[in-house]
Structure 1
């Protein structure tokens, strides 16, 4: 048997984990494994056996030629890279015993075996690699990603928890990747609420660090797509002291905390007001986005659907030209009056919600509570229009025999709804009026006191 045939059988045996064939080949050519270190420029049989998880085969190869543990394939990956990403802790142990320095070997992308294990969430492999070399955890990839960045990017929470129990380096926990993001930025951007909650429990995580564009985690949340998870993440960040970049006090402002006085209390009240406004803005943005989506879908899919053709056939087989055209709403012909009401209230909801979104993202200084109350009133109108759209739609699709009972239900629902809206509007109006009168009273009291002091000084 020539050398090429022996090598071919060796690779086949590695793929199958056939130890018996390996013994036979070694008896025929005892130097076959030694020659691989000189002639192999691709995957070695050790790579293949590690990829397939053949523990005994790997053990025998390493016994005969331990130098193969340091061999790299065309991607600059060692057998340890392969075993780590595949998740074979027993093979990882064997390779580490032979050559522990391969923990620090990096492939073409700058990733060591620990990085690959973190990407796939191979917890048991991570334990073995960390025990062998803590230095591997501090290496970064060619893109500046730490092992913690990789855990978050690939949503491997269990691996992240294991690593953070071992890593206590402040710099590593708050490091930025090549794009300028910390692990908290990445978790918030990807809406990983469990990861965000876990990270904020660690006192060393800086919640208000800014990326290369000057955005904090709260800024990134505000710029991303909107859904209900945003509110939960936003509340979690604020509870941990999270702020928008524009709300972070300057060093001069922070000095007021050292000398408590009226100014510091004023700043504190402004911070509380800013937090209130931020929460209201986020809530209104989410609700407006959802209503805009609902109104658009209702407009494009009205109750009853659309006509499918321009012609119809009577009972005698004659073709009749219909007054409608294909693609027009059935409701516009079957219930023309109701359709007009439907279009009006649905368009009101759609335009009002889009206007609210536009105002919130326009960058105008809506920092006064009066502006936020105005937006909330607009949203009340929007929600009411959406409710009316639902009422008209459900009335149209309900059979005639049930409409009388449905009409009574709708009348009661509308009455209750209008009462609740009027109550809310009245309550908030009274609240605003009370605050305005209180502020005016305090201002008058202050002026009287100043006038009294002035008279006393003159006397």
Structure 2
């Protein structure tokens, strides 16, 4: 009986059958615990029902499973992928948002071969999923897989032009990061065959490098200029402070020396102009 319920659970997840799922959970409230990530009771791919529903794009099933067993977000299949990874690979953005909200740590988890979810998005050409995930992975944009490749390296190699443009325009990538072969993203591009995409990508990467170089040069000039002009700046600051102080103690027009019987506003010590 128990095995039959588990099979029906997987069938409900694979078919997107919310009614069947609800009936199963009502019959056995511990059913999901027996197929959680701590249990061996998974299918042949070591996928949980949440893996299946996330991959197939069944949002309502995903929500019901999460409400009953939120820990399934961190469950891994035989390739080290959690349900969020599968949703990203298939481009199911609504499910992706739901899973991120439930478990932000699932987005930071790496899959097999040390690939981040951003690597998986590039590999499967999922631009919209990439856009959702990148802001949640600040500081990990340049994370490397087992081959030392970043998401940008992979995008350049696969000529994923839109993802490259997004990375360049909306994230803080480092073009100087090198993979296990000592290559930067530009080096990887140079190995490819020239073409329209090749030229466009090269122009984008070169433009970023020129901007980075310009900023670095300007910063170096400022850092060199500050010590040289330090004394001048200090003198000017002292002068400004002195003038401000003088204006406070000796205002324009002077101050009233004593109270005036003819002017109720004239009091000793107050500025005449006031």
Counterpart residue number, 1:128: 98
Deviation sequence 1:286-325 (CA, Å, 0-9, x none): xxxxxxxxxxxxxxxxxxxxxxxxxxxxxxxxxxxxxxxx
SS in 2 for 1:44: helix
8 Å Cα contact 1:69-1:78 kept in structure 2 = no
8 Å Cα contact 2:50-2:62 kept in structure 1 = yes
1:62 shift after superposition: 1.6
1:165 shift after superposition: 3.1
Counterpart residue number, 1:67: 30
> In structure 2, how many angstroms separate the alpha carbons of the residues matched to 1:203 and 1:78?
33
Match of 2:129 among 130, 152, 159: 159
Counterpart residue number, 1:211: 179
Which residues of 2 match residues 141-290 of structure 1 at below 5 A?
141-168=111-138, 170=139, 172-241=140-209, 259=224
SS in 1 for 2:53: helix
- What is the TM-score when the length of structure 1 is the normalising length? 0.44
8 Å Cα contact 1:208-1:242 kept in structure 2 = no
1:140 shift after superposition: 0.7
SS in 1 for 2:31: helix
1:259 shift after superposition: 4.8
Displaced runs of 4 or more, over 2 A:
66-70, 165-168, 254-260
> In structure 2, how many angstroms separate the alpha carbons of the residues matched to 1:225 and 1:69?
51
Gaps of 5+ in 2: 36-41, 214-218, 226-274
8 Å Cα contact 2:45-2:77 kept in structure 1 = yes
Deviation sequence 1:368-391 (CA, Å, 0-9, x none): xxxxxxxxxxxxxxxxxxxxxxxx
SS in 2 for 1:60: helix
Counterpart residue number, 2:20: 57
Which residues of 2 match residues 3-18 of structure 1 at below 5 A?
none
Deviation sequence 1:418-452 (CA, Å, 0-9, x none): xxxxxxxxxxxxxxxxxxxxxxxxxxxxxxxxxxx
> In structure 1, how many angstroms separate the alpha carbons of the residues matched to 2:222 and 2:158?
35
Counterpart residue number, 1:291: none
Q: Tell which structure's C-alpha radius of gyration is larger.
A: 1
Which structure carries more helix by proportion? 1
SS in 1 for 2:44: coil
SS in 1 for 2:30: helix
> In structure 2, how many angstroms separate the alpha carbons of the residues matched to 1:75 and 1:196?
32
1:166 shift after superposition: 2.9
> In structure 1, how many angstroms separate the alpha carbons of the residues matched to 2:206 and 2:31?
53
Q: 1:189 to 1:107 in 2, by over 3 A?
A: same
- What is the TM-score when the length of structure 2 is the normalising length? 0.72
Counterpart residue number, 1:76: 46
Equivalences, count: 212
Counterpart residue number, 2:228: none
> In structure 2, how many angstroms separate the alpha carbons of the residues matched to 1:242 and 1:188?
18
8 Å Cα contact 2:18-2:61 kept in structure 1 = yes
Over aligned residues, Cα RMSD in angstroms?
A: 2.3
> In structure 1, how many angstroms separate the alpha carbons of the residues matched to 2:88 and 2:151?
14
8 Å Cα contact 2:108-2:137 kept in structure 1 = no
Gaps of 5+ in 1: 1-31, 249-253, 261-459
1:229 shift after superposition: 1.1
